[in-house]
C-alpha cells in the first residue's frame, strides 16, 4: 500500500522553479505579509500552528527560504488566515496544476452531499496494483485533529495478505489492520484503527470486507 503524509502533494523540479518568474513568488509573500499585519498575527505562533519551527515563516517571507511554500503548509496557513488557498498560490504553480490529469472517485458510503465524489491526480495511481479504476472508491475518516482519506479497491472482498482493509459492520465503515492470528491459522486478527471498535479474532470466511486500501493520506488540522 502506498502511504503519503499529505493530500495531493505536487513534486516540483527545483530547476523548473528557478526558471519561473520570481516576482510571482514575491507577490504571494507580500499578500501573506499584508494578511498577517491586517489580522495582527504573530509569525512565531503561526509557524507553530502549521507544525514548523518558530522561525519558519520569518525565513520564508523575508529570506525567500523555501522559495515556494509547500502545499501542506499553504493549506494550513490559508485556514489560519481565513482566505481561499488559491490566493496563496503563484500563477506559474497554478498553471502546472491545471496540466495534471485527474480522475473522479465516488464515496463508498454513497453520500448525496458535495462530498459524494472527489478528484485525484492520476499520478497517485502510479505503482498501485489494481485491475480496473471502476473498482476504486474513496473513504474518509474525520477526527478532531485530522482527516484521513483512503482509496479503496472494492474488487477485493477477502483477506489476501496482511494489510489495511475497509470493513463494514451494519453499514458502519471502519479501517482495520488484518493479519493472521497467532493463536490459530484458521482465524484472522483484526485491529481497528480507532477505539470505536475493539480488536478481535474471527474466522476468515465470516469477516465482512468491503475492500482493500490501496492508498492513504492524512491532513492535520491546526489547533
> Residue 134's domain is classified under what CATH number?
2.10.109.10
98, 122, 157 — which closes off a domain? Answer: 98
pTM for this model (two decimals): 0.55
Q: Is the pLDDT of residue 219 over 50?
A: yes
In this prediction, residues 85-96 reach a mean pLDDT of 75
User: Which band of pLDDT confidence, cut at 50, 70 and 90, is reported for residue 112?
Assistant: low
Average pLDDT, the chain: 80
77, 98, 119 — which closes off a domain? Answer: 98
Report how far residue 35's alpha carbon sits from residue 51's, in angstroms, rounded to the nearest whole number: 19
Check whether residue 184 and residue 204 sit in a common domain.
yes
Is 3 domain-assigned?
Answer: no
**Domain count within the chain:** 2
Check whether residue 17 and residue 83 sit in a common domain.
yes
User: Which band of pLDDT confidence, cut at 50, 70 and 90, is reported for residue 24?
Assistant: confident
Q: How many CB atoms lie within 10 A of CB 168?
A: 14
Is 1 domain-assigned?
Answer: no
Q: Say what the pLDDT of residue 101 is.
A: 66
Check whether residue 207 and residue 111 sit in a common domain.
yes
Higher pLDDT, 166 or 50: 166
Q: How many CB atoms lie within 10 A of CB 165?
A: 25
Q: Domain containing 211: what range?
A: 102-220
Amino acid at each position: 500500500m502506498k502511504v503519503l503524509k499529505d493530500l495531493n502533494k505536487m513534486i516540483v523540479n527545483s530547476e523548473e522553479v528557478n526558471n519561473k518568474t520570481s516576482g510571482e513568488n514575491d507577490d504571494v509573500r507580500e499578500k501573506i505579509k499584508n494578511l498577517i499585519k491586517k489580522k495582527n498575527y504573530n509569525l512565531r505562533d503561526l509557524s507553530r500552528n502549521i507544525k514548523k519551527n518558530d522561525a519558519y515563516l520569518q525565513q520564508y517571507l523575508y529570506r525567500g527560504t523555501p522559495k515556494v511554500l509547500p502545499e501542506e503548509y499553504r493549506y494550513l496557513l490559508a485556514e489560519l488566515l481565513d482566505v481561499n488557498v488559491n490566493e496563496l498560490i503563484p500563477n506559474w504553480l497554478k498553471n502546472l496544476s491545471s496540466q495534471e490529469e485527474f480522475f473522479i472517485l465516488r464515496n463508498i458510503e454513497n453520500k448525496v452531499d458535495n462530498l459524494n465524489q472527489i478528484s485525484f491526480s492520476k499520478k497517485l495511481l502510479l505503482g498501485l496494483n489494481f485491475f480496473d479504476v471502476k473498482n476504486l472508491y474513496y473513504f474518509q475518516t474525520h477526527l478532531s485533529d485530522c482527516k484521513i482519506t483512503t482509496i479503496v479497491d472494492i474488487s477485493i472482498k477477502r483477506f489476501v495478505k496482511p494489510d489495511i482493509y475497509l470493513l463494514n459492520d451494519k453499514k458502519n465503515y471502519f479501517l482495520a489492520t488484518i493479519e493472521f492470528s497467532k493463536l490459530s491459522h484458521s482465524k484472522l486478527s483484526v485491529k481497528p484503527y480507532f477505539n470505536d471498535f475493539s480488536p478481535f479474532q474471527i474466522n476468515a470466511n465470516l469477516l465482512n470486507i468491503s475492500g482493500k486500501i490501496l492508498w492513504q493520506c492524512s491532513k492535520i488540522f491546526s489547533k
